[in-house]
Each structure stands twice: as structure tokens, then as C-alpha cells.
A = this chain, B = another copy of it.
């Protein structure tokens, strides 16, 4: 993994093109940008000793907005380049058309081009000190205030927060903590309960396993049997050599310990496939065909094969994930993304401590207990910090959130992150939408002819709630007498 290294994505698809052409029109000079705008953001909202600021990037599009305090859809950026999330959140463009809404995509500090200390941002724990969800939410609140002050006709625009995954948590938490800033939130695939002991630590991996089990006979069992096969081969130098060659590894395995790296990398691949198991060809984490787990499982039909034959099939499977385009010459185990599995990223070593475990029975992985102490040691070694696992619960309330309002929690039944998501209504205005055929925040993607009915219905319900929030906001008697 790349330890939060900023990883600019090419501006490829039509949505980004919209931004570019939009920006090039040069109409938004009120905001002082000709390219993607930046805003001067305070590095430490919660301390006043050092008054440093940094350039935070955001994307803005008002093709469909008609001014006159019309609605704003605000994407609460998560752990990556904001253009990447923009490219994979086509739903917002579809809604913008329907609601005549302005779109804003705010980049999360420390990602993309929004680096508080430039290239030094990840150099040590001192520079990483301001990478927290609380600082990110404060960034969003201040940015919205800035936009409402500086865009003519936006002063009283109702703002709706939208986000997926960690960004979905941010959207939900943003509505909880700043209800004066956003009238509601769509939190897609947001595992806000994957903390403490709120949910069982094993559900996540058992969902991954079910996805493979349902996608082909023998598929999950083949993977379960592969761990032992790798162990057997890694006992000899010839076996390690064979593994390195078979898996086209860029860096060959040198010792039996390296087999652990291989197994971790494979595990992460299966998890990623479960997240992006979309019903059509897509490119979120990787370019992939429709229903990629079904494709992968075509290689994994016979779990009883001898070790080498089994592992050759496993290679075919992962090669489909990493090399669907066919242009990759070797597979790089270190090249995983710090995306949705926050466990690999520095926030997992501070506040985002999500207990995970496997038992090898309800799931297809090697049994591994949740070991907080080991995590803490590893965090101290890697980042020089110790995690505070209970802080998120104190801050955001755990399961005790019923006094809040106007949040939609959507979850995909295929998505491992639904394990930590809100999948039952909490109140009339804290509602859960489950998309049985959906992977990770499928509902946030552009409409597609191959969309299952369940996601179409989910999106329709989401839009319905958004309309209601916007309507309520324009009828709020108290604020309107005060401000307008």
C-alpha cells in the first residue's frame, strides 16, 4: 500500500470533462478560479497556537443550478483524490439535473492535492497530526460557509451532504455535528458501527465469503484451500520460486515469511473484489468486467485440486483483477491502495480503529483473532502513534444516535462494509436502505442500463428524501424569520 501517497487520477470520463469544460468557461471568477478551485483552509481548527493554512481543493459545477437559493449537493470527500470520487459518483450528476442542484466535491485534507504541508504532509506523526475526521468536518463546514457567502444566490441554499464509505461516515457525522450547515445526509455504504464492540468482528469477512460462495460452485472453498497450498510450497526455495513465477510477482518471494505477504495480498484482493462486484463493467479500484466475482470464480471451480494446479487457478483469478486490461507485465504486491480498507492507512492508527477477525469456518480466510495490542504496537512502529479505539464512540455516539435526524444510510447486501452499516430504520428520519444486489456504494454511481431494480428503487427513495429535506428547509419558520 502506498501510505496515503497522493495518487492523481487521470481526468478521463465525461463527468470530469464536464468540470474541465465548465472551468474553462471561466464564468466563476467570483470564486477566483479558472481551474479546479482552492480555498485557504485552517490546518488546526481546534487550536490557535499555529495559525497555518493550506490550499484545499474542491470541484464545483452549477450547470443545472438556477441560483435563487437552490439546493447544493455537497460530496464529503474521503481518503483519495477528489477527482477519483467525482468520477465514481455519477448519481450526484443525475440528481443535480432532477433537483436543479449545484454540485460541490470537497477534497479531504491530506489526500489528492489538498496537502496541509505539501510533500512533508506524511513525513512524521507531527505533520500527520491534523489528519482526523473532526478536522475534515470542520473543513467542510467552513468551506460551505465560504461558498454561501461568495456565490450570489447561495446564501440560503439548503445543502445536502453525500458521501460513500468513509466519506459516507463523514456525511452522516457531518449532519450529526453540523445540522446547521447541512439539512440532511446520504451516507452510502458507511460502516459507522464498525467500531468497538458494536458489531461482531467477523461479519465483514463472512460477507466477502458469501459473495464468492454464491458466485460459483467451489469458489470460496478453493480460496480457503489455497492458504495451505501456499504454506506447503513456501517451505522450499524451489516452491517460493514457483510461487513467484506463477503469480508473476514483480519482487520474488525469498523466505517462508514472505508467504504471509502473498496471503495478505490475496486476501485484500478478494475483499476488494467483493467491494466492486458491480453488475456492469466498471473501473473503481481496477478496470473490471461486469460481476467480476463470477468471472473470477470461473477459474476456481475445483477446490480439491493439488496445490500447484489450485494455485495456478488462483493466479488466473487475481490476474483478472489486476490485469483485466492485459497490459501489466508483473503483479506488485506492494501496490495496493489506501482506499476503503482504512486498516492500512494512518487514520486506522489514530481514531479509525475497526475491529476485524476471521475464523476460517464462517469465512474462507485463515483464522485470525482481533488483536488490538498488536495493532497498537504496529501503529507505534509505523507512525509513532497509539490508537484510541473508544474515541470515535465518545465522539459520534456509537449506536446511540436516535436524537439526530435526516440521514439516509444505504448499504449493499454484497458489500462487506454493510457489516458495520445501519441496515434498519432508527427513526422516521434516520432511515436505512438495503440494496440486496449492491456492492460498495453502487447507488452513488451513474445510472446504468444494467442496474438491478433494487438500486433503482434505492436511488428513487433517496431522491424522495432529499426533496423532502429541501422542502422542509424552505419552510423552517425559525431560521427564516431570523436570517432572511
Contacts and interface: CB of A to CB of B under 8 A. Distances in A.
A351 interface: yes
Contact of A47 (B129, B141, B386, B397): B129
A142 B389 CA distance: 12
A59 B179 CA distance: 33
Interface in A8-49: 42, 44-49
Contacts of A120: none
Where chain A touches its partner, the secondary structure class is loop
B478 A426 contact: yes
Interface in A192-220: none
Contact of A48 (B125, B395, B402): B125
A53 to B, nearest CB: 11
Interface in A134-159: 134-135, 138, 141-142, 145
Contacts of A405: 403
Given A145-B390, A394-B138, A385 B483 contact: no
A229 interface: no
Given A49-B129, A130-B47, A180-B401, A141 B395 contact: yes
A290 B102 CA distance: 60
Instruction: Among A181, A478, A483, find the residue whose CB has the most chain B CB atoms closer than 10 A.
Output: A478
A350 interface: yes
B388 A482 contact: no
Nearest to A42: B388
A110 to B, nearest CB: 13
Given A402-B476, A402-B479, A128 B397 contact: no
B179 A404 contact: yes
Given A46-B134, A350-B48, A399-B479, A177 B180 contact: no
Given A145-B390, A426-B478, A427-B478, A178 B49 contact: no
A398 interface: yes
A388 B48 contact: yes
A400 interface: yes
Interface string A369-403: 00000000000000011111011011101111111
A46 B135 contact: yes
A179 B403 contact: yes
A481 to B, nearest CB: 10
Given A141-B394, A145-B390, A483-B400, A125 B49 contact: yes
Nearest to A398: B180
A48 B399 contact: no
Nearest to A177: B177
B138 A395 contact: yes
B49 A402 contact: no
Total identical chains: 2
A319 to B, nearest CB: 39
B47 A402 contact: no
Instruction: Among A51, A126, A128, A403, find the residue whose CB has the most chain B CB atoms closer than 10 A.
Output: A403
Contacts of A48: 125, 129, 132, 349-351, 385-388
Interface string A118-133: 0000000110111010
Nearest to A143: B394
A400 B46 CA distance: 21
Contacts of A49: 125-126, 128-129, 384-385
Contact of A478 (B45, B138, B145, B402): B402
Contact of A394 (B145, B387, B398, B479): B145
A51 B385 contact: yes
Interface string A389-431: 0110111011111111110000000000000000000110000
A399 B47 contact: no
Contact of A399 (B44, B398, B483): B483
Nearest to A126: B49
23 contacts: A46-B47, A47-B47, A47-B130, A48-B125, A48-B132, A48-B349, A48-B387, A49-B125, A49-B129, A138-B394, A138-B395, A141-B395, A145-B394, A177-B177, A178-B397, A179-B403, A180-B400, A180-B403, A399-B482, A399-B483, A400-B482, A402-B479, A403-B406
For the complex of A and B, the 3 pairs showing the least CB-CB separation, nearest first, are A180-B397, A180-B400, A49-B129
Interface of A: 42, 44-49, 51, 125-126, 128-130, 132, 134-135, 138, 141-142, 145, 177-181, 349-351, 384-388, 390-391, 393-395, 397-406, 426-427, 476, 478-479, 482-483
